[in-house]
Structure 1
């Protein structure tokens, strides 16, 4: 055989050995794959790969859209820790039936997938996530093995006089809202999916960071699917640190909603990412702008809460006249002629503000857009436009404003243009405490 032919045969043999090794490592070999060693013929016992486990969760029905986004981050980082021991995936709870979602033409607003609001590809760069519909397809049904219904301890947080983390199975403090049917299945509200049910239900008292759930989830149960209900009871493991920001940066809005916001900015606010220096890289993991690199569009953005929030937080929320006065002063100070207003104010209240503030612009969805994007999508468009303004001022104690603070920090805006809030009427400078600044930690 010629030298060249011999070399080709050797290369082919090495290639086939390499392919076999890859198949072995990836688990493609059967459990009893025959192997050969010099002088020995035997069978290698390879353990079958464990099927991945599913973590589902839900939140107290009264919690709003932006608080639920925060709970997602806690659950995402719990799964991040679970991934160190086993293969877990986070099942995203469908959106719907939120108290503040009243304006959409689609009054039912249930079974809304996360992909309607967020970029799932981006979420999956942090941890594995799937929609509930995909969970049903993967497992073959809407059956959930266990539900852990979180509650506080009856003796309170500080029985010992100091904070201590603990999680224990306990009797239910209150009658469970999930009831057994004639088959012994636990049924209740599962995001509008009447076919969904739980096989085993238990109440769990918890005062802990989310990470403390790793041990009970991996050692106290072999259930393949576990749902943590009232997940807002669990706290962040390290608020404001790297893990927190990794989860938050992965929560990019859907491309369609960003496009709607960008088109509005370009058409009505003379704002583009190129001019505003807010171009984002496709992968959030490599997008790390220095503080102050973002310039923002030539407009002021204001988030003004009204309705029930204004009544319950009257000591921190200005009147319409007080808000208009502050808006005019900031526009003059920042030399801006347009102001974008995000608000839940009534149409009549908006008319009053427009009389007092010139250059006021709002995004007003058509009936078709309300049906298509729903209240959650409209809120995201508002937040996206506010996040790109030259200067932003929000409402004290509002999670809606807080999410905009985060978005602007991720884009690279200066804190002084971001962490601002409207003061209540006759509130002194000392009393009108500005929001805490939380810089991105990479």
Structure 2
């Protein structure tokens, strides 16, 4: 089945189910009386960032079934159409898709998810055209500052919830402080919006780790999907670093670690963002995967329940594993939470076809989701609501080859620490 056919099928799941419900004479389903609410959902379903969107088709299917009876707001009942689009992990494609969803499909709310390569260009199109936009799964600094945002001049139409670099840096430093090292870091930064944010000399890793008593070396940024990390490894060996940190694609970290082994470089700790979020990516590294450490956005042990279904995080993860025959993955929690917030916003808007009403409902959000409380009150900037992040390490598992153990909760005490960080 082609991506276009899959996307069409996902849209039809919701509308066909709604039509079936109406045919059965269920109450409150006079769909012909109201215009549909159109939701544009843009995600990297294919391409190098596809692991981030791996759970999105599954969640769209669940939401389509859940919304078979539509959304009621302002005393009226509206059918809902979810228009799924694949950004192909390409910023230009994401911008093109967003433009079409806005100008041709006339969506009422845009929902881009996962990585700056998809979110930023979609959000920019929404800001330009006055369309409400909700997004998640990207550190807030690369969402806000990389798009030209200024604290004293926030965006009007685009809103985001996720953690920030200040949280992940604090967690990484806390993890590293539990084991003996020479406190020398080798930074591995990809050439991307996220890489530039993580390396930023004002709000990124360099000033924060220096303040914490660490020294570091930063080789030139590398192009994603590169084949040779010899220059970086040579610089790390020369500096004698014990810790590797940074942000890379899973494929790039696998290549880097394999070449480290070939060239006799053995760091004590490898804590890399983005690359180590996914169990399949860690498994693909073979025995090199054991002991890798990473940020943790969400796990089945999170204490929060879904505002849509009342299900626990553990139940949501178990259902996904049963349906997909795959291990749960962190984006699942945020894929679920994005829909929680979107549906809550539409129900409170009163006028889902009025962009200002939808935008105002976003601003007034105060909702506890499976990833924690989401609101835009008291955030670091007006367009950002912060959520918690923890530190974890991949260890040999019982049910799966590798499982993620929480080793640091210094920035959020919502989940207890399950183990201590161990060196490689």
TM-score bracket, normalised by the shorter chain, equals under 0.3
TM-score, normalised on structure 1? 0.26
Q: Give the TM-score of the pair, scaled to structure 2.
A: 0.27
